[in-house]
Chains A and B, each alone.
Chain A
Amino acid sequence: MTRSSARWLALAVALLALATLPFWMIGDYYTNIASQILYWAIFALGLNVLVGYAGLVSLGHAALFAMAGYTAGLVLEAGHGHILAIVLGLTASVATSAVFAVLALRSTGIGFLMITLALGQIVWGIAYRWADLTHGDNGVVLHGYPRPFGLGIDTPTGFYYLTFLFFLLALASMTIFVRSPFGASLRGTRDQARRMTALGYNVWLIRFFAFLISGLWAGIAGLLFVYYNQFISPQIVALQTSAEVLLMVISGGTATLLGPIAGAAIVVIMKNVVSAYVERWNLVLGVIFVAIISFMPEGLVPGSIRLWKMGWRALLTRKKALPNTGAPPS
């Protein structure tokens, strides 16, 4: 079997397992955990467009995530229907990404990071303080789910399939995006921005669109989040959320498609499942991150692939982590 057909087989098996998950998973509770992993994975994949492929590290993405959730929640509270809520929610997160992008793209590197951090904190402050609009930390409570094509998503299985559908869409669109000319030019702006400009590419515009795409997926994840929890409050806009999703991306492996998914799985499982058995799960999570960076600095997924291919010798010859170094992607 060739290497590439082995990969396709592995992928097919994985997708099949995911598609039939509610049937073999040992309980609704775990199906719910799977749904959470999937929508956090969507969020992480969205962030990865910026971090992995554009080389721009954002610490403000929680704001984009939350804008969609809050808008949808408030629209529903005002008595409107789900379709309007969803459309306005996504519009809100994309519009906010546009604003963030215009301000943050004045800079790159640490400047970009700081501006996105500050903007995220500003949105967080507004969520808390503008209590007339957002109810402050009392949050927005949702009642009810949409019924896409008449199918109920208010059960764990139903919601899982909805999330899985969007997950597949995210995965498919990311794959197409990565292999597209736009994806290539985005990676070009990451690796050789000056050369790209010299070649006539509008680097700023390319990055701007990447930010919008990233914001769109963050928004979709945010909508899934608010429908799953039936509640949203300012806590989710905090810096910790942005840091967590960034950690998911980095630990899983940037510039790969599976990396952010693996990262999301680690964090969600640690937080929700392992925390029931290990009191100091936060400590263990930190140790896992440190271990990943020590043995697999390029991320869990690329690192695991490397180890799988080369065996234990690989542990001692670490490959450099990818973006921001000019090192070629694997």
Chain B
Amino acid sequence: MSRKLSRRTFMAGTAVGAAAATFRFPAPAIAQGAPFKIGLLTVKTGPLAQGGIQMEQGIATFLKEKNNTLAGRKIEFVSADTGGKPDGTKTKVQELVERDKVNVILGPLAAFELLAITDYVRDHETPLISLAAAEDVTQRKANPFVIRPSATSAQCCHVMGDYAAKDLKYKTAITISEDFAFGYEQMAGFQRVFEDDGGKVVKKLWPPLVTPDYTPYIAQIQDADCCFNGFAGSNPVKFMRAYQDLGVKAKIPLLAGWTAMDDALLKSLGDEAVGVLSAAWYSADIDTPSNKQFVADMQKDYGVLPGGYSAGMYIAGQCVEAALKSLGGKGDTGKELAAALHKISLTDTPRGAFTIDHLGNVVGTVFIRKCERKNGKLTNTIIKTYPKVSQFWTYPEKDFLEKPVYARDYPPAKNLR
């Protein structure tokens, strides 16, 4: 059971932290005056609350570690519940920007939420550090106020395509993911690299977002070297159980994207997850000092193993800190802060070292992990790292951007049976 974070607790903590900070750090006169405000767009009600709660835990852990002071500025934190609906996200971003006057926004959770507010943050010159994956926001429709230190939908899937073709030497693959943009973009990324490396995607399955029983789809997964899935939310749990129960796991190895085998999901999984390989930009196993601290804090405060959602927000906090430091503690102008955010280069983060490319997306390490049982618990053990992976994989940027955005039918699947 996780401890819930109440806004009141947060503000109280902020006040204490601010008081402590004033005495501890000699801060420039300007900075000591006005607090720096961070707003979080998260989801606390409904099915998406699973990720939303984790996001809040991640940023809360970061701010607690830093005693609510970054680069000498005291931090005020505001959390907003969008309800997981784009019109709710729009209203909440207006609340954060117009009513609470935040300096920077973290989140939102879902791609469709992000798309509803990109124009707004640009018009109101408020930087946004996104977790949501929509590809074009840092590609063909790049927004100078948005940076994304997590990943695009396809960033990790490119890597898995490469690993499956070159290291595992698979020749054929079947892809399965939910029938929405995040699913399309993930599977497209995998397909492109897998086929460019000599593999063939022989079937693409698209169950609707709400599918109580995956059997009709799993029954179609036959005669291939592997199956790559990109399920998100709580769907991976049902899917993997059925995948094993129907005997397919023994015949066709399962590969996964980052949401499907997220470390935070491990506690809901059982033996059906053992042996599954996944490609992710975050793993609780990563060996950096900040990650060790982060994982320990999450275990202590919330009793959970963190996954990408929490780590994404912790790292977003680190981005804010780095940008503020580079601006000497100032950063009250949106344009200034956005520019500084684009220039950061961090090494000690829960995901390791990374930089931000000129379009706002991360260039960082992607990990291939294998799920194993150690001391009775499921863990994702890192078996290979791919450093400095950009959103374009090894494709030249200009070439990549000239082609259409990844979609259900792009790149076209030419090898379907």
Given a CB threshold of 8 Å, the question of whether A touches B is answered with yes
Which A residues are within 8 Å of any B CB, using their own CB? 27-29, 32-33, 36, 125, 128-129, 131, 136-139, 141, 143, 225, 229-231, 233, 235-236, 271-272, 275-277, 279, 281-282
Q: Which residues of A contact B87 (CB under 8 A)?
A: 225, 229, 231, 236
Which B residues are CB-close (under 8 A) to A277?
A: 7
Q: How far is the CB of B229 from chain A (nearest CB, A)?
A: 19
Known: A32-B91, A32-B94. Contact between A229 and B180, CB under 8 A?
no
Is B403's CB within 8 Å of the partner chain A? no
Q: Which residues does chain A contribute within 8 Å of B180, judged by CB atoms?
A: 128, 136-137
A231 & B88 in contact (Cβ 8 Å cutoff): no
- Please give, as numbers and ranges, the residues of chain B lying within 8 Å of A129 by CB-CB distance: 179, 208
What 1/0 mask marks residues of chain B from 382 to 405 whose CB sits below 8 Å from any chain A CB? 000000000000000000000000
Interchain CB contact under 8 A, A279 and B4: yes
Measured between beta carbons, the chain B residues less than 8 angstroms from A29 are 94-95, 98-99
A139 B88 Cβ-Cβ under 8 A: no
Stretch touching chain A among B57-65, B110-118, B155-163: B110-118
Would B95 and A272 count as touching, CB distance under 8 A?
yes
B89, chain A: closest CB distance, angstroms? 9
CB distance from B40 to the nearest CB of A (A): 12
The yes or no answer to B364 lying at the interface (CB within 8 A) is: no
Q: Are B179 and A271 in contact, CB atoms less than 8 angstroms apart?
A: no
**Nearest-Cβ distance from residue A278 to partner chain B, whole angstroms:** 9
**A129 vs B178: C-alpha distance when bound (angstroms):** 11
Residues in B whose Cβ lies below 8 Å from that of A271: 83, 88, 91
**Are the C-beta atoms of A236 and B116 separated by less than 8 Å?**
no
Q: Does B44 contact A (CB under 8 A)?
A: yes
Please measure, in the bound complex, the distance between the C-alpha atom of A49 and the C-alpha atom of B407, giving whole angstroms.
Answer: 42
**Considering the chains assembled together, what is the distance between the CA atoms of A131 and B91 in angstroms?**
26
A129 to chain B, nearest CB (A): 7
By CB atoms of chain A within 10 A, which of B84, B112, B134 has the most? B112
Q: Which of A28, A33, A231, A279 contacts B115 (CB 8 A)?
A: A231
- Interface presence of B373 (CB below 8 A): no
Q: How far is the CB of A61 from chain B (nearest CB, A)?
A: 16
Give the shortest distance, in Å, between B184 (CB) and chain A (any CB): 8
Partner of A128, one of B92, B116, B120, B179: B179
Contacts of B45 in A (CB 8 A): 281-282
Indicate if B6 sits at the interface (CB-CB under 8 A).
Answer: yes
Across the A-B interface, the 10 shortest Cβ-Cβ residue pairs: A231-B116, A29-B99, A29-B98, A137-B180, A282-B45, A137-B112, A272-B91, A138-B181, A233-B112, A235-B85
Which A residue's beta carbon lies closest to that of B141?
A141
Q: Are B119 and A230 in contact (CB under 8 A)?
A: yes
Are A233 and B86 touching (Cβ within 8 A)?
yes
Q: Are A139 and B99 in contact (CB under 8 A)?
A: no
CA distance A279 to B87 in the complex (A): 18
Q: Are the CB atoms of B95 and A139 closer together than 8 Å?
A: no
> Which chain A positions have C-beta within 8 A of B83?
271, 275
CB neighbours of A143 from chain B (8 A): 119
Q: Measured between alpha carbons, how far is A161 from B104 in the docked complex, in Å? A: 31
Question: Any chain A CB within 8 A of the CB of B408?
Answer: yes
Contact partners of B84 in chain A: CB under 8 A: 235
B115-A141 in contact (CB<8A): yes
The yes or no answer to B90 lying at the interface (CB within 8 A) is: yes
13 contacts between A and B (CB under 8 A): A29-B99, A131-B407, A141-B119, A143-B119, A225-B87, A229-B86, A229-B87, A229-B116, A231-B86, A233-B116, A235-B112, A236-B86, A276-B95
Q: Quick one: given A276-B95, A279-B81, are A139 and B7 in contact (CB under 8 Å)?
A: no
- Complex CA gap A189/B180 in Å reads 43
Of all chain B residues, which has the CB nearest A28? B98
Complex Cα distance, B111 from A138, in Å, reads 7
Taken together as a complex, chains A and B put the C-alpha atoms of A233 and B88 apart, in Å, by: 12
Shortest Cβ distance from A315 into chain B, in angstroms?
31
Which residues of chain B are near A137, meaning CB under 8 Å?
111-112, 180-181
Contact: B44 with A279, CB < 8 Å?
A: yes
B366, CB-defined interface residue at 8 Å: no
Given A129-B208, A229-B87, A271-B88, list of 10 further CB < 8 A pairs?
A: A33-B91, A136-B184, A138-B181, A139-B115, A225-B87, A235-B112, A275-B80, A276-B80, A276-B95, A279-B81
The reply to whether B112 and A139 contact each other, CB–CB distance below 8 Å, is yes
CA distance A8 to B116 in the complex (A): 42
Whole-angstrom distance between the alpha carbons of A143 and B94 in the complex?
Answer: 17
How far is A225 from B85 in the complex, measured between Cα atoms in Å?
Answer: 13
Contact indicator A138/B179 (Cβ below 8 Å): no
- The answer, among A139, A225, A230, A275, for a CB contact under 8 Å with B81, is A275
Residues of B within 8 A of A36 (CB): 91
Q: Complex formed: what's the CA distance from A230 to B121 in Å?
A: 13
Q: Which of B150-182 contact A (CB under 8 A)?
A: 179-181
Q: Which residues on B sit within 8 Å (CB–CB) of A230?
A: 119-120
Distance between B231 CB and nearest chain A CB, rounded to angstroms: 15
A270 to chain B, nearest CB (A): 11
- Determine how close the nearest CB of chain B comes to the CB of A240; give it in whole angstroms: 8
Closest Cβ of chain B to A121, distance in Å, is 11
Q: Which residue of B lies closest to A131 (CB)?
A: B408
State the Cβ distance, B155 to closest chain A Cβ, in Å.
18
> Considering the chains assembled together, what is the distance between the CA atoms of A212 and B380 in angstroms?
57
A271–B92 CA distance with the chains assembled, in angstroms = 10
A127 smallest CB distance to B (angstroms)? 11
The answer to whether B115 and A138 have CB atoms under 8 Å apart is: yes
CA distance A236 to B45 in the complex (A): 16
Distance from B355 Cβ to chain A, minimum over Cβ atoms (Å): 28
A27-B98, A136-B181 given as contacts; is B6 within 8 A of A235 (CB)? no
Q: Which residues of A contact B111 (CB under 8 A)?
A: 137-138
CB nearest neighbor in A for B135: A138
Task: Please give the distance in Å from B97's CB to the nearest CB on chain A.
Answer: 9
- Shortest A16–chain B CB gap in Å is 26
When distances are taken between beta carbons in the complex, the residues of chain A under 8 Å from B7 are 277, 279
A125 to B172 alpha-carbon distance, docked (Å): 31
How many angstroms from the CA of A39 to the CA of B201 in the assembled complex?
A: 48
A36 to B90 Cα, complex, angstroms: 12
Q: Could you tell me the distance in whole angstroms from the C-beta of B95 to the nearest C-beta in chain A?
A: 6
B6, B181, B408, most chain A CB atoms within 10 A: B181
Across the interface, name the chain A residue whose C-beta is closest to B4: A279
Residues on A with C-beta less than 8 A from B134 are 138
Q: How near does chain B come to A67, taking the closest CB pair, in angstroms?
A: 16
User: B194 → chain A, closest Cβ, in Å?
Assistant: 23
**CA A281 to CA B7, docked complex, whole Å:** 13
Report chain A residues within 8 Å CB of B81. 275, 279, 281
